[in-house]
Structure 1
Amino acid sequence: MEVEGVIVQQDPFLYASTDYSYNITHHAFEQEKPNPQNLHIYGSNNGGYWDSPAAICLPGKRRRVKPTKNKEEMENRRMTHIVVERNRRRKMNDYLAILRSIMPPSYTQRGDQASIVGGAINFVKELEQLQQFLEANNHANKNLFSNFFTFPQYSTRPSAAVEQRQSRIADIEVMMVECHANIKVSTKRHPKQLLKLVTGFQSIGLTILHLNITTVDQSVLYSFSVKVEVECQLTTINEMATTVHDILGMIQEGNL
């Protein structure tokens, strides 16, 4: 099918009149539906011929402009969301693995997230009960080594005995037979406390022959068997207990 048309354009500045003739040939129709890509324009302008795909739109049709920028922004947001979600899942898996490792195996028999969190809740509840039990028996724990002392020169427990001296530093008991002495010390643990005690004993003329150490929580019991050297200036058990008490006081105050 051929459609012939004539367009007359007048330009008052360049030409009096110019004629343009176009022949629009429709090469093919599929199921009677127009396809703009199959339309070709044949025309002439001053004797020249040209042929190009039609850049025209049928009546009632408009060309759509692709929202390239919006698509790029949406793609960037999608990729950012994927990275954030991946990091969140990785951190969650790491935290669950740590939580599972610090609990007894009986609380984490299954490895899914719900089982791990549920086991952690039960584990924390039992720890709270254990803490309450320990706090209730805290007073008994403080006097744990009380049975090791018969007649201490210094005691952290109130007593009616006249020869005992109240102390907040330690329980100290000294027993001596000829040139040998047995010194018991119950006190709180401190960094490098034993090393400083040994150095202090040597400075006052006491040579350590045997040492026994018992620790419970933050408390420690030292049992020293020492030899009283000739150069030692301490002649009584009270003097020796007072000197040991002074050494412990300097250690806890950081002066030794």
Structure 2
Amino acid sequence: MSSERKYGVNQSLVSCKSKSQQVVEDGGGGSEYGQLKVSHIMVERNRRKLMNEHLSVLRSLMPCFYVRRGDQASIIGGVVDYITELQRVLQSLEAKKRRKVYREQVTHHWIDSSPRRPRPPLSPRPSVPISPRTPQPTKTYRPTFPLSFVARPSPANSFISSDNSNELMANLRSPIAEVEVKFAGGNLLLKTCSNRIHGQTTKVIAVLENLSLEVLHVDISVVDETMVNSFTIKIGVECRLSAEELAQHIQKTFC
């Protein structure tokens, strides 16, 4: 009996020790798990902070009308649309550059290949001056260019500015957009005002290039939902349109 009691006491002590060791081990494991969880939370917090900073930078690099809301999906979608628009403008400008280089090469080749005729002497004897009866030019020669932007008066949708004879203007309005064409010096100023329309700038540039007009500068500004495009254009020799006809061509791009 005494030996059985001692065996039972020893067995109970062993079980108590094993339980205490298990409790200690469980406690240590719970502490490591808590530290790991805190580290995961910090990593996720830093990741979100870095993503928000990147989204803020992307939003500052593009016009505000490409982002309607401030959430992540809207910002990324606006960035995609803006990059697509820039790619279209870049392709249009590269095509214009290639056409310009081709025209310059053709013109240079034509000038080099054309025969040069010697100019006849003004007098049979070079030492003898020209006869007084020979008519002398009284005015310097000024070449007349075939291109002249003249705004044709129309009481419905256009007018001519009379403040300066060097500046001719045509204004064409419709329910969709307003187009203003202004001829000043050697350049042409074109301004369009309409609601925000994706790809509209590319359409206008394509029409101008088809009309042999070279786009020197493009400025896009947005106020609320209104988009204003300003173009500085160099007039091509092949273009024979009036200011009103050009405004009509640009107005058709909004249809």
TM-score band, normalised by shorter chain = 0.3 to 0.5
The structure with the larger Rg is 1
TM-score, with length taken from structure 1 = 0.36
Bigger RCO of structures 1 and 2 (CA < 8 A, at least 6 apart): 2
More strand by share: 1
More helix by share: 2
